[in-house]
């Protein structure tokens, strides 16, 4: 694969890249996420119906971040971020902070972040590292409406305009550790293909959209991602 140092790269990462650090993938083979139905912890209806359970669930996920560390795949992408002179955007579906802790900066979280609280009244977001009880007060508007800064099912992912702008100018699109089943991220490969970008999937097993990629490489992210980054930087 020939790449010019001025080329633009868009990388999409999903739960598979953090699984090797010990974080559960979003939806396990039993349809549950950390023992909970997704409908009970990741929808606006769940938050309205049982805020205590939803807040406690994300408090537990936030606390678990202290027990895990970035792995070789996160570190390789951080190296690419440091050394690639062309355009680069790492779009993650993950709500953990492992990309940042590895050192990536050209990064956005399309589904929100565990270490952030969102005010449902004024829309302000603020860093948050401790437990977030229901009815916590927003420092900006003083309303007791803080919630986890997580994009629930039925809500619009963050910074979609920026993501599509990057995809429409991409020379290479790489999808890492994603199921290929959750939209709009599952459609990114089609957007990249439409503008002539080369497309590569790195995954443990073929995703729902594998047939859309120019190339699929199967194996653990901790092996495949460093290999790809080494190839790109050569």
> Which amino acids are annotated catalytic?
111
| Alpha-helical segments (H) within the chain | 15-19, 38-41, 44-49, 51-64, 72-83, 98-102, 160-167, 188-194, 221-233
For 152, half-sphere exposure in the C-beta direction (CA atoms, 13 angstrom radius) is 20
Residue 6: which region, alpha, beta or left (left: phi > 0; alpha: psi -120 to 50)?
Answer: alpha
**Neighbour-count burial of 118, counting CB atoms closer than 10 A to its CB (0-12 exposed, 13-18 middle, 19+ buried):** buried
Measured between alpha carbons, how far is 5 from 86 in angstroms, rounded to an integer?
Answer: 6
Residues 6+ apart with CB under 8 A from 165: none
């Amino acid at each position: 694969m020939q790449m010019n140092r001025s080329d633009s790269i868009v990388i999409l990462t999903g739960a598979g890249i953090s699984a090797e650090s010990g974080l559960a993938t979003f939806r396990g083979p039993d349809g549950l996420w950390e023992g909970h139905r997704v409908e009970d912890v990741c929808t606006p209806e769940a938050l309205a119906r049982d805020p205590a359970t939803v807040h406690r669930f994300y408090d537990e996920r936030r606390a678990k971040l202290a027990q895990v560390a970035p792995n070789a795949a996160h570190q390789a992408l951080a190296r690419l971020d440091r050394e690639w002179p062309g355009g680069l955007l790492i779009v993650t579906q993950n709500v953990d902070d492992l990309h940042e802790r590895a050192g990536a900066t050209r990064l956005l979280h399309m589904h929100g972040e565990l270490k952030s609280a969102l005010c449902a009244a004024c829309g302000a977001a603020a860093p948050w590292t401790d437990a977030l009880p229901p009815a916590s007060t927003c420092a900006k508007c003083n309303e007791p409406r803080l919630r986890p800064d997580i994009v629930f099912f039925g809500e619009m992912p963050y910074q979609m305009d920026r993501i599509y702008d990057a995809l429409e100018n991409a020379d290479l699109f790489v999808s890492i550790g994603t199921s290929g089943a959750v939209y709009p991220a599952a459609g990114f490969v089609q957007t990249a293909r439409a503008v002539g970008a080369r497309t590569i999937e790195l995954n443990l097993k073929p995703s729902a959209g594998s047939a859309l990629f120019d190339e699929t490489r199967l194996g653990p992210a901790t092996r495949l991602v460093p290999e790809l980054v080494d190839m790109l930087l050569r």
